[in-house]
Chains A and B, each alone.
Chain A
Amino acid sequence: MEHTLMDLWYGFGIAMQPHNLMWSVFGVLVGNLIGVLPGMGALTTISMLLPLTYVIAPVPAILMLAGIFYGSQYGGAIGAILLNLPSHPPHAVTCLDGYPMTRAGKGGTALGITMMCSFFAASVGIIVMIFLSPLLVQVAFKFGPTEICSIMLLGLLAGATMSRGSPLKGVAMTVFGLFCGVVGTDVISGTARYTFDLPDLADGLELGAIFMGLFGIADFLMTVNRNPPTISKAKLSMKDMRPTRAEMKEAFWPMVRGTAVGTLFGAMPGTGPTITTFIAYALERKISKTPEKFGHGMIAGVASPEASSHSKTQVDFIPTMSLGIPGDAVMALILGALVIKGIQPGPQLITEHPDIFWGLIASFWIGNVLLVILNVPMIGVWVRLLRVPYKYLYPAALFFICVGVYSTKSSLFDVGEVAVFGIMGAIFLWLDFPISPIALGFVLGPMLEENFRRAMLLSRGDLAVFIHKPISAWFIGACTLLILAQVWAYVQRVRIVPPPVPGSELIAE
């Protein structure tokens, strides 16, 4: 306990170093700025700025990325509430009640409530992270290749089946991501795999190129000349943002419940933030005395999902940092950045790189305070920014993406990769496949393969080892439950909803 507080103090020392603080502030600012812009989520922002991390030291790099992450989450809520534009999927739920509040002239209050909830939830999440991580590490040291394999399997399955859309398609995309991770020289045998004799592919596909292609270019391709953006006429001043005492009271318990939901789900690898916010919203509606008012500007409908997404965000860092298993695509990207920096996330991280771990935790707090301070006076600027037309925005973003990818290795081949993955991403989006499991698969792929091969070597090729080892058996059991639950849900769906009579609309044509 005392030791933990000492570590935390040390972390604040690291985070407050001018150099580190500067990058953290920069990340929060840029994340906030880009998060506000329609059509740009945390993923696009982080992948665009990822190359920046190559030139700076690991600690400020990771602080900056984390800052972008929660900064853009804050920004995303602004777009969702004022414009009904969820630039980041978890905010889709916030739109449901946030936008009606804006239309009722209560947009400022909704934003104020959001800020309050985010700060509260993030603080709780940080505290949980501080006390849970060292415990988790003790368990994590018992993890051999077998256990790592099965928990990764669980994370991948959860990521694949609990994202939006069909679980089967999620699995398909995860496998595609795993395959992308295979491309390049095999670490164990040295064989060049799927490189088509291109020397540029020998080191494997470039993380930044894949992410920017899938989440940047593909998104531009699908959005351009479509969905005319709505223009918000909302005018806001700082005074509007302070909620009244009655509103604070109304928001308090939903905020606490949302935080609890987020914390619970954050500890589970693979459950994305979107599902968390949906569950928090559903819970509020279920226990509310006036469920029919949801969707018409209920404060609880804004407070609870926002709180859950922020506590989830913080707690998500636990499995990412201590086990090396990211909860969602954004975490996968941050993990990738660490790996590029030569730091292997895992149980050793806290002991071997205490500066990164504790500095990061301390910077969360500093960052969240900064966000509150920044957002109160800046809200007028954000509202104006929301009106920047997409037609000016995406060409500029495209250029950033190109330069960003190029600067990674000074390789134009990688820029070509961006285009290829942009096309693939657009095809997948067009065919209604979720794309974030690809990211999860790509980052975990090489680790999964290495650990699986090692586990098989140790067990002399006996697959039953995954069930014989107790920790591993638990994870495999959870995987089985997950699959059974999906199959059950599918069977139920088919039985209840009869397929629409085919041909009925043919007559109309």
Chain B
Amino acid sequence: MTAPRRLQTDHVGGALLALMGIAIVVLGLNYRMNTLVRMGAGFIPVVLGVIMTVVGICVALLADRDAPPGQEKGAIRTRHFALPEPPDLRGAVCILGGVAAFVVFAAYGGLIPAAFASVFVAALGDRGNTWKTAAAIGAAMSVFGVLVFHYGLRVQMPLLAWGS
């Protein structure tokens, strides 16, 4: 029964919560606490941070349930870890890249480049898409975006404003 306990979902989750809780408390102590009658700005967040830390520790301590082996494919299961399958790296990078592309091109290019870039980059994340299909979806969404968002809903963004 004294087999090594492996790091698993709830250990990580609990630790993450506890860390967040502690960070919230530490930052919250900068604000005024005052008394229960006249609570300062820091009172509620510090209480929330404390609850979060305690719950996080509980989650980690109660993590003795081990997921049955081989149930999820792609899960990380080694001598020291038992964690579920993480998101697909290419997909994740491209999806976040798509959002980033939108921000950059919306700031320096306008709606059309932003639409094309975000859809194109995001579409590349799926292993079933090629450069060509991604570009095609991007072009289609640019047309759609201009019609619906610019002319239809009048979103406040110039169609093309290169470099501004």
Contacts and interface: CB of A to CB of B under 8 A. Distances in A.
Nearest to B11: A431
A182 B157 contact: no
B44 A449 contact: yes
A172 B98 contact: no
Interface residues of B, number: 87
A399 B84 CA distance: 29
Contacts of A342: none
A167 B109 CA distance: 47
B153 A395 contact: no
B123 A224 contact: no
Contact of B92 (A172, A179, A426, A501): A426
Interface in B78-122: 78-79, 84-88, 90-92, 95-96, 98-100, 102-103, 106-107, 111, 114-115, 118-120, 122
6 contacts: A186-B31, A194-B24, A224-B92, A391-B126, A406-B102, A407-B149
A457 B36 CA distance: 8
Q: Is the interface of A mostly helix, strand, loop or mixed?
A: helix
Contacts of A351: none
B122 A394 contact: yes
A193 B122 contact: no
A432 interface: yes
Interface stretch (A80-88, A330-338, A412-420): A412-420
A193 B106 contact: no
Nearest to B155: A407
A398 B48 contact: no
B103 to A, nearest CB: 5
Interface residues on A, range: 35 or more
Interface stretch (A92-100, A215-223, A282-290, A469-477): A215-223
A391 B55 contact: no
Contacts of A506: 3, 79
A13 interface: no
Contacts of A406: 102, 106, 155, 157
Given A407-B156, A430-B87, A419 B126 contact: no
Given A189-B32, A412-B107, A502-B5, A221 B92 contact: yes
A18 interface: no
Interchain residue pairs A-B with the least CB separation, the first 9: A503-B3, A224-B91, A461-B37, A461-B36, A191-B41, A391-B126, A431-B13, A395-B123, A395-B122
Main secondary structure of the interface of B (DSSP, over half): helix
A419 B84 CA distance: 22
A389 B123 CA distance: 12
A389 B133 CA distance: 12
B123 to A, nearest CB: 4
A461 B35 CA distance: 8
B40 A407 contact: no
A156 B125 CA distance: 37
B20 to A, nearest CB: 7
Contacts of A463: 36
Interface string A400-414: 001100110010100
Nearest to B86: A430
A391 B1 contact: no
A55 interface: yes
B96 to A, nearest CB: 6
A152 B39 CA distance: 19
A456 interface: yes
B16 interface: yes
B87 A222 contact: yes
A171 B88 CA distance: 28
A463 B31 CA distance: 22
Contact of B149 (A188, A221, A403, A427): A403
Contacts of B9: 431-432
Tell which of B20, B58, B84, B103 has the most Cβ of chain A within 10 Å.
B103
Given A407-B153, A407-B156, A182 B95 contact: no
B126 A225 contact: yes
A117 B27 CA distance: 52
Contacts of A456: 36-37, 39
Given A224-B95, A398-B98, A398-B119, A191 B145 contact: no
Contacts of A168: 55, 58-59, 62
B128 interface: yes
Interface in B125-150: 125-129, 133-134, 137-138, 141, 144-145, 149
